[in-house]
């Protein structure tokens, strides 16, 4: 039989179910091997899912907006048009709801191998002539009846984003402005993307309907699972006050070169972790896992109520300018849910910074699979006693580390914070080397 089930793929190690964002193909449409057929929302991102089979999308089991467990059938692909009706009959008879077919073919037809499928999302590895557009842009184009082939994308690598579709739609009153559309967005305007082309702002909608119970988003459910998983971990917290005058001065000097404070803090933490590998380690049933790389996760709040932690990989060895560029790209793609799994699940140590909200200090919850997380408060002017016995004003911030007490003890965390403060206070210039 040449009818194949398409299964809900596992797009991350924590994903237990996925939500269908949109079907790129409709029932009866011809599909080519390696072509995107559906966009799936995992617990962290929207991802294009490709098929390994050539044929016809015979029947959709899980419609757009619905969820399904990982490994369950979401559609049928028939290799010939004559088999489309047979596939529909199989679906209607409940065949898809049963255990997967005993033959190995349906497994290969899941199109769920994330590495090759995801590589095309940012346009870096897309096939020649293939249209690269965000899931939100595809959905919006379908709703507004906009031909994506007439657009030139303003996203990374020319990716078409929702703003491009909206811009063309707004000009739709003029019959044939298609040639004008490419000139509207500036192709290199990726940094402008964070205003969230893919965020329909569900959070304000919730606030506008008092008394209504609104289901959690996939992102929020992922956060719930992770937070519940940390309850069983015995943790302790250690606070420290760090003077930031030198760091603030350095930041003002190199800010114009694209350096961000987030990158500076991540770099400082990563360099300090070189001396304290235990703080970069994690617990396992077999013992302490000492990670070979220092990958700094940084918590970022999503506009739709979720939370994601893009990862600055090898932050201790990457120069501050490259690190800052990487961070801007990560945030931009996090906002549009385009991160690859390794870009949000490979962290070995986490930073959570609420200083921009004026928060003095706070406790952060330890992420699963890590040994420590550092909470950073705002840097404020404080009256302090100087070494010469006088009073002076210094910029100071409060940091608070939460650590897994199964492998890390108070003295370990205190020594790490002491060295971090020493680096930031006496030798911040070394972060640019």
Per the annotation, the verdict on 405 as an active-site residue is yes
Provide the 3-class DSSP secondary structure of residue 69: strand
What are the strands, taking DSSP E only, across 280-371?
Answer: 282-284, 287-289, 296-298, 300-301, 307-308, 311-312, 349-353
According to DSSP, residue 25 is labeled S
Tell the burial category of 167 from Cβ atoms under 10 Å away from its Cβ (0-12, 13-18, 19+): middle
CA 116 to chain centre: 18
Return d(Cα 33, Cα 285) in angstroms, integer.
42
Question: Which residue, among 296, 389, 300, 392, has the nearest Cα to 347 in the 3D structure?
Answer: 296
- Among candidate residues 59, 157, 405, 412, the one labeled active-site is 405
61 within 8 A of 35, measured Cβ to Cβ: no
Return d(Cα 298, Cα 418) in angstroms, integer.
21
Provide the 3-class DSSP secondary structure of residue 247: helix
Tell the burial category of 91 from Cβ atoms under 10 Å away from its Cβ (0-12, 13-18, 19+): buried
Sheet of 311-312, strands arranged across: 235-243, 391-404, 372-385, 349-353, 296-298, 311-312
Which pair of tokens denotes residue 293? 């790389």
CA dist list (Å): 228 to 192, 224, 269: 35, 6, 27
List the catalytic residues: 405
């Amino acid at each position: 039989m040449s009818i194949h089930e398409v299964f809900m793929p596992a797009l991350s190690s924590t994903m237990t179910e996925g939500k269908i964002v949109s079907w790129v193909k409709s029932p009866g449409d011809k599909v080519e091997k390696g072509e995107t057929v559906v966009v799936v929302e995992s617990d962290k991102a929207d991802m294009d899912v490709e098929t390994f089979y050539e044929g016809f999308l015979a029947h959709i089991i899980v419609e757009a907006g619905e969820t399904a467990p990982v490994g369950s059938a979401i559609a049928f692909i028939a290799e010939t048009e004559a088999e489309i009706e047979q596939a529909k009959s199989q679906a209607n008879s409940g065949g898809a709801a049963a255990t997967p077919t005993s033959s190995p073919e349906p497994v290969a037809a899941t199109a769920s191998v994330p590495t090759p499928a995801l590589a095309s999302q940012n346009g870096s590895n897309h096939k020649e002539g293939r249209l690269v557009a965000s899931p939100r842009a595809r959905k919006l184009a379908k709703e507004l009846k906009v031909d994506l082939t007439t657009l030139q994308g303003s996203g990374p690598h020319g990716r078409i984003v929702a703003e491009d579709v909206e811009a063309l739609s707004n000009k739709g009153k003029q019959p044939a402005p298609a040639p004008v559309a490419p000139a509207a967005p500036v192709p290199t305007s990726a940094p402008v993307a964070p205003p969230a082309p893919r965020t329909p702002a569900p959070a304000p909608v919730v606030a506008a309907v008092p008394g209504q119970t609104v289901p959690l988003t996939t992102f929020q459910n992922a956060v719930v699972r992770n937070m519940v998983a940390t309850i069983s971990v015995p943790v302790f917290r250690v606070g420290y006050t760090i003077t930031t005058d030198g760091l603030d001065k350095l930041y003002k000097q190199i800010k114009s070169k694209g350096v961000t404070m987030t990158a500076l803090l991540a770099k400082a933490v990563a360099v300090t972790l070189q001396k304290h590998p235990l703080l970069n380690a994690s617990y396992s049933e077999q013992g302490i896992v000492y990670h070979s790389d220092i990958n700094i996760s940084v918590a970022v709040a999503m506009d739709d109520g979720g939370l994601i932690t893009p990862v600055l990989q090898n932050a201790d060895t990457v120069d501050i300018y490259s690190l800052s560029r990487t961070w801007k790209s990560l945030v931009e793609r996090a906002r549009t849910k385009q991160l690859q799994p390794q870009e949000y699940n490979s962290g070995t140590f986490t930073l959570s910074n609420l200083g921009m909200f004026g928060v003095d200090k706070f406790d952060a919850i330890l992420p699963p699979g890590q040994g420590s997380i550092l909470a950073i408060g705002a840097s404020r002017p404080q009256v302090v006693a100087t070494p010469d016995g006088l009073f002076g004003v210094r910029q100071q911030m409060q940091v608070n580390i939460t650590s897994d007490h199964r492998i890390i003890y108070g003295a370990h965390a205190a020594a790490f914070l002491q060295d971090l403060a020493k680096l930031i206070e006496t030798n911040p210039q070394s972060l640019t080397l």
